[in-house]
Amino acid sequence: AQSVTQLDSQVPVFEEAPVELRCNYSSSVSVYLFWYVQYPNQGLQLLLKYLSGSTLVESINGFEAEFNKSQTSFHLRKPSVHISDTAEYFCAVTPNTGFQKLVFGTGTRLLVSP
Amino acid sequence: ETGVTQTPRHLVMGMTNKKSLKCEQHLGHNAMYWYKQSAKKPLELMFVYSLEERVENNSVPSRFSPECPNSSHLFLHLHTLQPEDSALYLCASSPSGEEGETQYFGPGTRLLVL
């Protein structure tokens, strides 16, 4: 079985400051890792994912995440946040074989203020 | 319409009522999912369908009954619910359900059980 821990339930930050949202996972098998974002009153959208290859993955809006197998982490970072990044961010994993069964963390609410 | 749509967006029901949630995807996908999103808890995968066949049922109480008449439509039939079933119910779809795919989420139905 898999589990995902997002220790920070809420992260307040000022606009243009850097941010890191932490994600750690536990699994007895190899996994694929995902970050999804949920804007107010909307469903989740994929932000980025790690399947294989380079351990650093990037999204089109400036976020990046690095897969660290030894630390079982997949932290999300952005060097300079915007007001529009205010949302809830979910880390998720699924075993890399068989049917996809995403296991999500509890989410981190990013609050960006001017 | 494009993407994944869900109706109704909001639903209030008594514990003795019977209601249904509807999900429709316009993406040509073959896998569909129901999730439950409760406050302070991780998203919980409830049901997975692939090509209209149920492939996962995550120990969900029988008062929740899914139906997938074709690959574009997914229903969640509700009866004799409890107040703790109040939550946001999210539907998602993916091309085939393979491990590394992106899931596309609808905006959810917010359910309140009185």
**Per-residue model confidence as pLDDT tens digits over B39-90:** 888 999 999 998 878 877 778 999 999 999 999 999 999 999 999 999 999 9
Confidence band of B1 (pLDDT split at 50, 70, 90): low
Q: Are B15 and B102 in contact (CB under 8 A)?
A: no
**C-beta separation of B33 from B25 below 8 A:** no
Q: Is there a contact between B42 and A103 if contact means CB atoms under 8 Å apart?
A: yes
Phi and psi at residue B84, in whole multiples of 5°? -70, -5
HSE-CB at A24 with a 13 A cutoff on CA atoms is 6
Residue B40 burial (C-beta neighbours within 10 Å; 0-12, 13-18, 19+): exposed
pLDDT of res. A1: 85
CA distance to partner chain B, nearest, from residue A108 (Å) = 10
In Å, how far is B36's CA from the nearest CA of chain A? Answer: 11
Name beta bridge partners: A24: A5, A73
A30 touches chain B (CB under 8 A): no
Report the distance separating Cα B66 and Cα A113, nearest Å: 42
Of B40, B55, B90, which is closest to A106 when you measure between CB atoms?
B40
Partner residue opposite B43 with nearest CB, options A49, A100, A104: A104
Selected residues 36-95 of chain B with any CB under 8 Å from a CB in chain A = 40-43, 45, 48, 50, 55-56, 90, 92, 94
Position B40 scores a pLDDT of 81
Please report residues of B whose CB lies closer than 8 A to that of A32: 99-100
- Please give the interface size between A and B, counted as residue pairs whose CB atoms are below 8 Å apart: 63
Strands (E) across B1-114 are located at 4-7, 10-13, 18-25, 31-37, 44-50, 53-57, 64-70, 73-79, 87-94, 104-105, 109-113
Phi/psi at A84 (nearest 5 deg)?
A: -70, -10
- Please report residues of A whose CB lies closer than 8 A to that of B108: 43
- State how far the Cα of B112 lies from the Cα of B17, in Å rounded to an integer: 12
Rounded to a whole number of angstroms, the distance from the CA of A56 to the nearest CA of chain B is: 16
Q: Which of A43, A100, A107 sits opposite B99 (nearest CB)?
A: A100
Quick: pLDDT tens for B7-48. Answer: 999 999 998 889 999 999 999 999 999 999 998 889 999 999
Residues of chain A with C-beta less than 8 angstroms from the C-beta of B41: 106
What chain A residue is nearest to B4 in terms of C-alpha separation? A43
Can you give the pLDDT at residue B24? 97
Q: Strands A10-14 and A56-58: what pairing? A: unpaired
Q: How far is residue B74's CA from residue A76's CA, in Å, rounded to a whole number?
A: 33
